[in-house]
Structure 1
């Protein structure tokens, strides 16, 4: 169970996960040792799952972001396992969700350019035996970055 002080800590860490216990404690009105213990507790119980750096895609050569909807032709357990394994093997796929509705999967992908996106779709996704249809939408402008969870 998390209390309001834990929620304050979580909100602060979502803004800057690298803040020291001293800064975190000041921010949430706790001593540095209390802030550190609470952070460790949140990590140990799995509320905080990891820490990551947010990178500028353009700085690392990624110029195209797209959402790719995948509709499966068959819905066998083996086909789903095989497709899930394929998703894990393609580093350009940065998020993947199963959906209700017409599409079975929604993939968020980052590629160097349109040619690389085309290769990903035609050489990696469409050849999978369970895939029936792939539809992509290219992101023209990202208006909001992935935001912190509302705690």
Structure 2
């Protein structure tokens, strides 16, 4: 759980990603040491997972975004995941319930390139079937601020 100051700190950091600790302290109305200690604790707890820039794949030449659901052969999940690691266009892979065993977020230079990526995925004997959905538009971008503001506050 996070408290009200943690929530405000995280929302402020998301709104001002390049701001330093001193400026964060000023914006929050607390001591710089408090901000530094809070950030260190949030990192140690795994709440803050990185400080790197967010890269837009479209801007660097990958305008196609898709989600590929995979059905995996019984007992071959680790093998399938290992083969997926070798495909740089696969940005994320999630284990799922339901019809699919894995859900991959994939980018491609075009539809022909996406077809090549799917062929690479299917080349693994561990993968039995794929189902692909191409993203047409982003209706709500990744956001965490509403969740942080609504998070239960600890005393």
TM-score (normalizing by structure 2): 0.85
Aligned residues: 147
What is the DSSP-based 3-state SS (H/G/I as helix, E as strand, rest coil) of the residue aligned with 1:101? coil
Aligned counterparts of 2:63 and 2:122: Cα–Cα separation in 1:
22
Q: Does 1:114 align with 2:103?
A: no
Aligned counterparts of 2:90 and 2:15: Cα–Cα separation in 1:
25
Aligned counterparts of 2:54 and 2:105: Cα–Cα separation in 1:
16
Q: Higher relative CO (CA 8 A, sep ≥ 6), structure 1 or 2?
A: 2
Asked if the contact 2:61–2:109 (Cα under 8 Å) also holds between the matched residues in 1, the reply is yes
Q: In the alignment, which residue of structure 1 is the partner of 2:86?
A: 89
Question: What are the equivalent positions in structure 2 for 1:7-18 lying under 5 Å apart?
Answer: 7-18=7-18
Question: Alignment RMSD, CA only?
Answer: 1.7
Measured at CA, do residues 143 and 18 of structure 1 come closer, stay the same or move farther in structure 2, by a change above 3 Å?
Answer: same
Q: Does 1:134 align with 2:133?
A: no
Asked if the contact 1:15–1:148 (Cα under 8 Å) also holds between the matched residues in 2, the reply is no
Structure 2 unpaired stretches of 5+:
149-155
Q: In the alignment, which residue of structure 2 is the partner of 1:68?
A: 68
Cα deviations by residue, 1:71-104 (Å, 9 ceiling, x for unpaired): 12x221xx11111112222221112111111111
What is the DSSP-based 3-state SS (H/G/I as helix, E as strand, rest coil) of the residue aligned with 1:60? coil
Aligned counterparts of 1:81 and 1:31: Cα–Cα separation in 2:
47
Query: Once the 2 structures are TM-superposed, how far is the Cα of residue 43 of structure 1 from its aligned partner?
Result: 1.4
